[in-house]
Every structure is written in C-alpha cells, then in structure tokens.
Amino acid sequence: MLLEQIHDPSDLKKLNLKQLRQLAEELRGEIVRVVSERGGHLASNLGMVELTIAIHYVFDAPEDKLIMDVGHQSYAHKLLTGRYEAFQHLRQRDGACGFPLTEESEYDAFTAGHASTAISAALGMARTRDIMRGDYNVVAVVGDGALTGGMSYEALNDAGQNETRMIVILNDNDMSIAKNVGAVSRYLTRMRQSKGYIAMKQGVRSKLENGHRFARAFYRVLNRTRNSLRSLFVDDQFFAALGFKYIGPVDGHDLKHLIRVLRSTRDNSLPQLIHVVTQKGRGYRPAEDHPDVYHGVAPFYMESGASKSETRVSSGSVAARELIALADNDIRVCAVTAAMPAGTGMIQFQQAHPDRFFDVAIAEEHAVTMAAGMAAQGMKPYVAIYSTFLQRAYDQIMLDVCRNGLPVTFLVDRAGLVGEDGATHQGVFDLSYLRSIPGLIVAAPRDVRDLKKLIELSHETDRPMAIRYPRDCEDLGPGIQSQREFGVGEWELISDGRDVMIFAVGRMVQLSMQASIELMGKGVSAGVVDARFVAPMDRDMLLERACGVKLVVTVEENVINGGFGEGVLEILAKAGVSTPALTLGVPNRYIAHATVAQQLEECGLSAMDIARRVRKRLAELSEARL
Ligand SMILES: Cc1ncc(C[n+]2csc(CCOP(=O)(O)OP(=O)(O)O)c2C)c(N)n1
C-alpha cells in the first residue's frame, strides 16, 4: 500500500501522477473501512480526497497553513500527515479526533468544529505573517454549506478590502448536510453549470494537441478573446466585487488539473478564491446516492451500507411529531432550523407543513432573529438548533427575542455530553448561558413524555422558552410519570429521602434515581426531585426539601460554572439554609471525544459515581462533626 509509505506530505511529493491516483483510491478505501467501524463523517471526506492530495502536493505544510472549515472533512489530511495509527481509533478516546486539533498535530493549524470560521482564522494568520514579514501561504478550505454562514462574508469583506494575500478554496458539492439552500447556493449552481465553457475549452485543447486544423485556429481565437468569452459563461462578479480573484470552476477529482491550478495560485500576492467542484460521497455508492444520510454515520456494514446500530427514536423526532400536531390546529406554529433538518428531526415537520418550515442555512444568528420577527407579527416559532451551535446566537436570544419578550421557543437539541464528536460539540454550556437571560424559561425534560408536556406548555405560554434535551430521550414509563400537569417553574418530587435530597436536571434524573437505589443499598436514604425548570426555579420546593436533610445534592449535565447547581446554592444562601450542598456536573474544561458513557464517567456523573461521591461527602461531613 502506498498509503503506508506516507509519513508526512514530503513523501507524497515523491509520487508521480499515476501513484497519486492510486493513493486517492487507497485513501477512499481506508476512510470507508475505518468509518464503517467507528462512525464519523463519511460523504464529505470521500469528496475531499483528490483536493487534499493536491493541496499537500503543492503547498508545504506545516509552514504553509491549511485551515479547514468545520474540519469534518479532514480525514484524508490526517492520513497524509502521520496519523495513520491514530486514525484506526478515529473518534475513540485517545484516538484521532474527528476534527482538526492543534494539540494532535502541527499540521492542524487551527482547531475547529463549528462552521464558517476558516476564512476569518486564515485572514488573521495572513495578517500576522505580513506583520512578522513571513513568507508562507495561508489556505482556507470552505464548503459551500459553510459559505452560507455570515462569518464567511464578514471575513471575505474584510480580506478583500486591503488585498491580503491568501487563498480560499471553495469546496462546492452542492450539499450542506442536506441539500444546500439559499440564493448564494443558487448562484454557485449557475457557476458550476458554466463548466460547459471549461469542457469546451478542454475539448478544443485536446483536439489541438491531436493536430486538428480548425480546432487550432478556433483555440487561438478563443484564447485571444478569453476574458470577454469567459465572462459570457462564468459570472464571477460576486467574488470579484468582494476583492477576490476568482479561479474556476475546477473539477475537484481531476488531480492533474487541480495540481496545475493550485500551483498557479501559490505565492501570488492577491486574495484568491478557487472554486472547486466535488462530489459528496465520491467512490462509495451508498454515499454517492445518499450524501445527506452518509454525511455523518454510525458504524455500518461496508458491503450494504446498512447501519449496525438499531434505529432509535430521537428526541428531535418526538419533538417534531408534537409540533406537527400543534401546527395542524394552529396556523401560528412554524419551525426554523439552521441547516439541520434531519439532525433536529424537523424534516418531518417540513414534510407535514412545508409552507411553515424554514431552513435558513448555517445561520444560527439569523435563524433566531428571523424567528423573533415572525413572533413579533403573531407567529409561534420553534427554533430547533443543537446546544453547541446555539452558542452562536447568544446576543440574538438575549436581545432580539427576550428583550422584546417574544414567544419564541428554542428546541435545544444534543444538550449534554455528545460523545464521539467531542469538545467542540458538547452541549454542556446552555444551562449557564441561558439561565442568566431575563425572562427566558429554561426547561429540561427527564424523558420523552416530559418533552411532549413541555412542548405543550410552551405552546400555551406567551413567553420565550428554551427546552433542552439530549439526542436520545428515554421513555421512563408511566411509573414515575408526573401524576399531575405542571406549570412553569414547578419541580416534581419523585421520591423522598431522610438523609439526602438530590435535585437533578434532564437525563440526570434517571441516573440520580439509580444512584438513590444504590445508596439505599448502603443504608443511605436519598430522595430525588426532578428539577425540570432551571429558570425559574421552584424555590418553595427547594427550601422545603433542603431543610432537614444532611446533604443537598444537585446533578446536571452542564458545566458547574454558572449552572443549575450554582443557582440552587444562591437560593439556599440567600434563604439562610445551612444544609451542606454538593454540586455535581461537568467540570469547567473541554471534554474530548469518547463514548457518552466514558464522558459521564470522566465527569463523575455515572449512577455509581453519583452514589460514591454522595457517600464520600457524607463521610467527610460526619468526620468533621466528630
Ligand atoms: C455553526 C455550525 N452550525 C452547524 C454545524 C453542523 N454542520 C457540520 S458540517 C455542516 C455542513 C457543511 O457543509 P459544507 O461546508 O458544504 O461541507 P460538506 O460537508 O458538504 O463537505 C453542518 C451544517 C456546524 N458544524 N457549525
């Protein structure tokens, strides 16, 4: 295998074109094999193979800086930069991260995971190079999906104004996770279709090489009138107006041509944008046929492409079904997503109510303020965004929705620890960043039944509300189902305890119940309260249950700093309650990729950990009393 001989990009430069093509096939095989075992981003990576080879063939990383937007398409890059072994453990604890990570390799110039940051980061590096009188190239690789994010335009606008030397490679596969949307996407489609011009030019050139007389004459005319003729076919006004020299469209699977084009851009002193057209899922039939389904996958059988994991009903799909039912009877109900129709489950809403579904592209800030505008005119918008991506829209939630007191509901998906996607994707900050916003109701269901009730409640209230939930929500069954309907801010006593009261949020309710059983076995009577509202809190229940026990415990799948537990401590302190308290949650650091179970353990949040930590604190307290 050629791949085994590539320890860093300098080995790549020793290969001839035929070998580079063979390497491309080997890379594809390796990516499909490893992703089939470990899960990960498949289709985007298969589309990037030739482009990655060409970039490393032409540029000299790590001196030249390569910045990949989102970074989910960096697998070939990892395999070509000395991480073959780590890649065998892709997305596993201590294995290769699924995104570029500066700690992992000097070839990863910038840690990423969220979209539309690459051009800004690249511009910052290019400016630094110029100040420090360096002489390296800075190359940002941005997908057409990532180009829909506002930051990309902020960066292009800035880069173009004073002509900073940098290269932006637009990897255009016409797909975000789902089909790309928006006017810019339509514009790119027109540019791609101008490939007719390029095909014609190439056809004429090859005929010329074969000595065709008319072709030779035509090619001469074509070349002479190149610019005016080209503009008939390729409308590059948009990028030119932003101050970028536009090059393309270029076939992203034609290695020879790619290398030639990239070479022509090396060391140029202008901002340049190379428009490369690739096919998402290239080379693996199931991914070519369904690039959206194979964007990010769980482990699958290579032969058939079928998933190895059993299909589970996601919380998002439960939420979508509930919303559809509400929308059936209320024309005000609409759904908004930022490029994640399938991931958030809202694709079902789209099918049921296409005229009230809005995919605004990778534009979380816009999604929130657009929903605020709709709510201001009488709609009841539901904005479904993952916890980690909603971080982008903090100011819009704070001012455009909440300052205006508008009834927008945020369906905050993938809340809590998310597993293999790792540090950039953890949903462990939302309770902190949402809890502090005046007027916003913040709730977390303990299971799907609760999720449905919370959505019903959100429909009844005219206040802004956020409901946060993990991807998979259990159904804890009617056994512990709330016996009564609850209002905003009401918690629920699940079991009483003489020694300890555990106040738990969301998925932690179930683990706390298991912990209480474990504690009972050790002679500790621990009760559990489902603290389903983190804002406003149920002060009365808290004070009632916190007095008279030896220890108050809070458990949340959120960072401790600014989280639920700190809110509880504040209420207890202000009320003068002196019961000792233990706050359990995610430590205030970035939690790397691993399984959710491993991450829970790492944070000391498994049921056994909760029980162990409670007993330890009880022991410390009784020692202190002696
Ligand atoms: C701020 C933000 N929102 C949403 C996402 C989720 N996401 C990851 S990749 C992706 C699509 C990116 O499309 P594109 O840039 O065209 O890359 P492709 O996968 O098509 O190669 C999305 C929406 C993200 N990473 N960051």
Residue closest to 201 by CA, chosen among 218, 186, 187, 214: 218
Token pair for residue 193? 């279709």
CA-proximal residue: ligand 1, atom 21 (nearest) = 44
pLDDT of residue 192: 82
| Ligand 1 atom with the shortest distance to the CA of 115 | 26
Ligand 1 midpoint to CA 274 (Å):
19
Token pair for residue 207? 């005929």
Average pLDDT of the segment spanning 107-115: 98
202, 151 Cβ separation under 8 angstroms:
no
607-625 vs 508-521: helix axis angle to the nearest 10?
50
Ligand 1 pocket, mutate which of 362, 368, 386 (most atoms under 8 A from CB): 362
pLDDT of residue 474: 80
Average pLDDT, the chain: 93
Choose, from 65, 280, 468, 507, the residue flagged as catalytic: 280
Residue 476's pLDDT band (cuts 50, 70, 90): confident
Please check the confidence at residue 230 and state whether its pLDDT lies above 70. no
pLDDT of residue 189: 87
Ligand 1 midpoint to CA 339 (Å):
8
Average pLDDT of the segment spanning 256-275: 94
Please check the confidence at residue 368 and state whether its pLDDT lies above 70. yes
Summarised one tens digit per residue, pLDDT across range 278-288 is: 999 999 999 99
pLDDT of residue 236: 79
Q: CB 436: neighbour CB atoms within 10 A?
A: 13
Please check the confidence at residue 215 and state whether its pLDDT lies above 80. no
Q: Find the length of the chain.
A: 626
Summarised one tens digit per residue, pLDDT across range 510-526 is: 999 999 999 999 999 99
For tokens 């001839």, the residue is 16
Q: CB 533: neighbour CB atoms within 10 A?
A: 23
CA-proximal residue: ligand 1, atom 25 (nearest) = 114
pLDDT of residue 496: 95
Q: Rounded to an integer, what distance in angstroms lies between the CA atom of residue 336 and that of residue 358?
A: 5
Q: Rounded to an integer, what distance in angstroms lies between the CA atom of residue 515 and that of residue 495?
A: 12
Residues 6+ apart with CB under 8 A from 556: 431, 504, 505, 506, 508, 534, 563, 564, 565, 584, 585, 586
| Ligand 1 atom with the shortest distance to the CA of 340 | 23
| Ligand 1 atom with the shortest distance to the CA of 147 | 15
| Ligand 1 atom with the shortest distance to the CA of 425 | 25
Please check the confidence at residue 238 and state whether its pLDDT lies above 70. yes
Choose, from 30, 50, 322, 364, the residue flagged as catalytic: 364
Which DSSP helix (H) or strand (E) runs through 324? Answer: helix 315-329
Q: Rounded to an integer, what distance in angstroms lies between the CA atom of residue 103 and that of residue 9?
A: 19
For the chain, domains (ranges, CATH) are: 3-194+234-289 (3.40.50.970), 315-468 (3.40.50.970), 491-625 (3.40.50.920)
| Edge-to-edge strand list for the sheet holding 380-386 | 357-359, 333-337, 380-386, 409-413, 465-468, 441-443, 533-535
Q: Which of 11-15, 60-64, 110-114, 231-235 has the lowest mean pLDDT?
A: 231-235
Q: Rounded to an integer, what distance in angstroms lies between the CA atom of residue 601 and that of residue 592?
A: 13
Q: CB 233: neighbour CB atoms within 10 A?
A: 15
Question: Where would I find the beta strands (DSSP E) of 325-456?
Answer: 333-337, 357-359, 380-386, 409-413, 441-443
Does the active-site annotation cover 550? Answer: no
Summarised one tens digit per residue, pLDDT across range 540-571 is: 999 999 999 999 999 999 999 999 999 999 99
Does the active-site annotation cover 522? Answer: no
Ligand 1 midpoint to CA 425 (Å):
12
Does the active-site annotation cover 18? Answer: no
Q: Rounded to an integer, what distance in angstroms lies between the CA atom of residue 581 and that of residue 572?
A: 9
Ligand 1 midpoint to CA 174 (Å):
12
Summarised one tens digit per residue, pLDDT across range 432-460 is: 999 999 999 999 999 999 999 999 999 99
Which string of b and e fits 544-578 if b means at least 16 CB within 10 Å?
Answer: ebbeebbbbbbbbbbbbebbbbbbbeeebeeeeee
Average pLDDT of the segment spanning 233-258: 90
Residue 137's pLDDT band (cuts 50, 70, 90): very high
Please check the confidence at residue 351 and state whether its pLDDT lies above 70. yes
Please check the confidence at residue 582 and state whether its pLDDT lies above 80. yes
Please check the confidence at residue 210 and state whether its pLDDT lies above 70. no
Choose, from 392, 507, 545, 550, the residue flagged as catalytic: 392
Ligand 1 cavity residues, CB under 6 Å: 44, 47, 70, 72-73, 114-115, 143-146, 171, 173, 175-177, 280, 295, 339, 362, 364, 389, 392
Q: Rounded to an integer, what distance in angstroms lies between the CA atom of residue 551 and that of residue 532?
A: 20
pLDDT of residue 200: 47
pLDDT of residue 480: 54
- Greater model confidence, 24 or 270: 24
For tokens 């270029």, the residue is 250
Instruction: Give Cα 567 to chain centroid, integer Å.
Output: 28
Q: Rounded to an integer, what distance in angstroms lies between the CA atom of residue 155 and that of residue 166?
A: 12
Please check the confidence at residue 198 and state whether its pLDDT lies above 60. no
213-224 vs 226-233: helix axis angle to the nearest 10?
90
